[in-house]
Amino acid sequence: MSHAEMPWLQVQVWTPRVRRGSSACRRLPVMAAAMVASAMVTPELTRPVAWASSRTPSTPRSHRGLRRGGRRGSRPRRRGRRPVPGADDLGPEEVPMFATDPEARARRRKLLVNSGPATQLLIGDAIGDAFGAIIEMQDAYWIREFVTFDQWPKNPMRRSEWNTNSACGMYTDDCEMTVGLINGLLTHGLQISAADMLESWQAEWDLAKRRPRPAPPGAERHGHGSIKGYFRGFRDIEEVRRLQSGKEDPGNAPPMRALPLAFIENNSLREKLSVMNANSTHPHARARAASFLVAEGARWLIVERGDQKEVIRSAMSRLQNSSVSDRATEVHLQKVDELEDYHDWGGRFRKMPAHRHELLCGPQPCPPADGIGAGEDGSSKMHGLWSDAMRTAAVVLYLLKHHRGPLDILRASVDIGGDVDSIAALCLGVVGGSVGLDFGEDHGLPWFLLEEVEGVEYLHARGKKFEEWIGKQQTA
């Protein structure tokens, strides 16, 4: 029915109501009744009324501030002007997006034909990140019972605010910062500085706000720890560094984004950039060692094509002979290397002894996760890995030592519990770069993961550029 045929017109007026501690808003309906004969309403009057009444009311400022992650003190956050529709139309190779129709999903299969190791690494990293993000910080025992690999996981403890910006298939900070480091190397080359790295990570964070739907307009990418305050302008980078340097176990951002460094040919320069990757945000001995271990383990498997069973021993030997040798990390890694093959624990780790899980992940249930509801209804404690650098690097190298293909290592990565998106991203990234993801094969990943993950076209384009750079890099 047209507005010219409607004798009553309802106008909705949105009025924000902001009070301390609340960002709620109320809608005040205003009824404007006018008995108008339809024959008397001219087209000139109809057009502007129809346009105005069809517009969705703008979201109140206070609500927008909350959606972006809260506000500082009692004042709503300021935000820039929302882009004019159509003025920011980026293609799938320029900004991460989803394949929204069967033809686009089918084209993704062809993209990976003849793709190089860096491209396969990025696709694997994104899939592991996106799959694990849905069940991040969930209890290992719940995951082993309820998560299957023929569909995206469903998590009853998933926070409602995550759903608006973490649709199935969206990757998080793990893949984002990995791409950011690649972009930094493409832009600045081997002379990249810590400031250049920070600038590149910030640029990739900002790019996420330009994604088309289903990402909410202007939404930040899900994830990120202490660096989020720096990206938002709330926190100085030195404050972030002080926070991480004062911890016994610093966060795992340095190892989670270190994979691109595996392709640096010069040994001393690769070590230098591994240290810089950590010190830029996490200047801590264990963070530096973890960054170095992931880069060297990935290099051993992807570039040097070394024996899979020797990946821990090789990475640890290089750590011991480096400037970032760390006794605590080396002792821990030696114990992990002596563990039996995880397949000895049966399907879905059902026979894993509790002390083995504790060796890999630290005390169980996870003390830092106390207060995070887990399981089916939130009444369970979280058993699994916290996001600390040393144990993340060690778990990843352990799984890479014993894996039997892409699907096997994805399953093992999430069955560890806890910060499973970081584990799965790193493991599938290295497996993709070294032996491939083998989509559609019995031991490989199911096709839906490629077709439904975010940003395949974008990651493919970044990977190709990086592979060109790898071939041309100068070691001087």
- Residue 276 located in a structural domain: yes
Quote the CA–CA distance of 218 and 198 in Å, as a whole number: 21
pLDDT band at 162 (very low <50, low <70, confident <90, very high): low
Q: Would you say 248 and 259 are in contact if contact means Cβ atoms under 8 Å apart?
A: no
Q: Is 368 helix (H, G, I), strand (E, B) or coil?
A: helix
Quote the CA–CA distance of 188 and 302 in Å, as a whole number: 24
Instruction: For residue 102, say if its preceding peptide bond is cis, omega within 30 degrees of 0.
Output: no
CATH of the domain at 268: 1.10.4080.10
Quote the CA–CA distance of 373 and 351 in Å, as a whole number: 25
- Residue 305 located in a structural domain: yes
- CA distances (Å), origin 173, targets 166, 178, 204, 250, 348: 12, 8, 10, 17, 27
Q: Which of 338, 352, 289, 346 is nearest to 309 (CA)?
A: 338
- Lowest model confidence (mean pLDDT) among 150-164, 195-209, 331-345, 434-448: 150-164
% of the chain surpassing 90 pLDDT: 74
- Lowest model confidence (mean pLDDT) among 96-110, 157-171, 353-367: 157-171
The answer to whether residue 131 scores a pLDDT higher than 80 is yes
Longest dimension (CA), the chain: 89
Cα 28–chain centre separation: 39
Query: At 319, which amino acid appears?
Result: L
- Lowest model confidence (mean pLDDT) among 114-118, 261-265, 277-281, 327-331: 114-118
DSSP string, 164-233: TT--TT---HHHHHHHHHHHHHHHHGGG--HHHHHHHHHHHHHHHTTPPTTSPTTPPPS--STHHHHHTT
- Lowest model confidence (mean pLDDT) among 12-16, 148-152, 309-313: 12-16
Highest mean pLDDT among 173-187, 204-218, 220-234: 173-187
Tokens of 72: 């500082």
pLDDT band at 40 (very low <50, low <70, confident <90, very high): very low
What letter does residue 381 receive in the DSSP assignment? Answer: P
Look at the block and give the residue holding tokens 């004019």. Answer: 84
% of the chain surpassing 70 pLDDT: 79
- Residue 432 located in a structural domain: yes
Tokens of 202: 């910030």
- Residue 22 located in a structural domain: no
Q: Would you say 219 and 226 are in contact if contact means Cβ atoms under 8 Å apart?
A: no
- Lowest model confidence (mean pLDDT) among 73-87, 212-226, 445-459: 73-87
Quote the CA–CA distance of 297 and 311 in Å, as a whole number: 6
- Residue 251 located in a structural domain: yes
Q: What are the b/e assignments for 297-336, b being 16+ CB within 10 Å?
A: bbbbbbbeebeeeebbbbbbebbeebebbbeebeebbeeb
| pLDDT of the residue at 113 | 87
Quote the CA–CA distance of 281 and 167 in Å, as a whole number: 28
The answer to whether residue 232 scores a pLDDT higher than 60 is yes
- Looking at every residue in the chain, the average pLDDT score rounds to 85
The answer to whether residue 192 scores a pLDDT higher than 70 is yes
Count: domains in the chain: 1
- Residue 13 located in a structural domain: no
C-alpha dihedral, 124 to 130 to 131 to 134, nearest 10°: 160
Quote the CA–CA distance of 257 and 273 in Å, as a whole number: 12
Helix residue ranges per DSSP H, 88-170: 102-111, 117-133, 140-146, 160-163
Q: What is the pLDDT of residues 199-209, one digit of tens each?
A: 999 999 999 99
Q: Is 300 helix (H, G, I), strand (E, B) or coil?
A: helix
pLDDT band at 160 (very low <50, low <70, confident <90, very high): low
Q: Which of 420, 409, 398, 433 is nearest to 124 (CA)?
A: 433
Average pLDDT of span 287-295: 99
- Residue 71 located in a structural domain: no
- Residue 79 located in a structural domain: no
Q: What is the pLDDT of residues 46-69, one digit of tens each?
A: 333 333 333 333 333 333 333 333
Q: Would you say 241 and 284 are in contact if contact means Cβ atoms under 8 Å apart?
A: no
Average pLDDT of span 320-332: 98
Quote the CA–CA distance of 146 and 153 in Å, as a whole number: 8
| pLDDT of the residue at 197 | 99
| pLDDT of the residue at 167 | 81
Query: At 42, which amino acid appears?
Result: T
What domain range is 161 assigned to? 102-472
Beta-strand relationship, 8-16 and 25-33 = antiparallel
Average pLDDT of span 310-332: 98
Decide which of 239 and 163 is more confident.
239
Tokens of 22: 């609340």
The answer to whether residue 30 scores a pLDDT higher than 60 is no
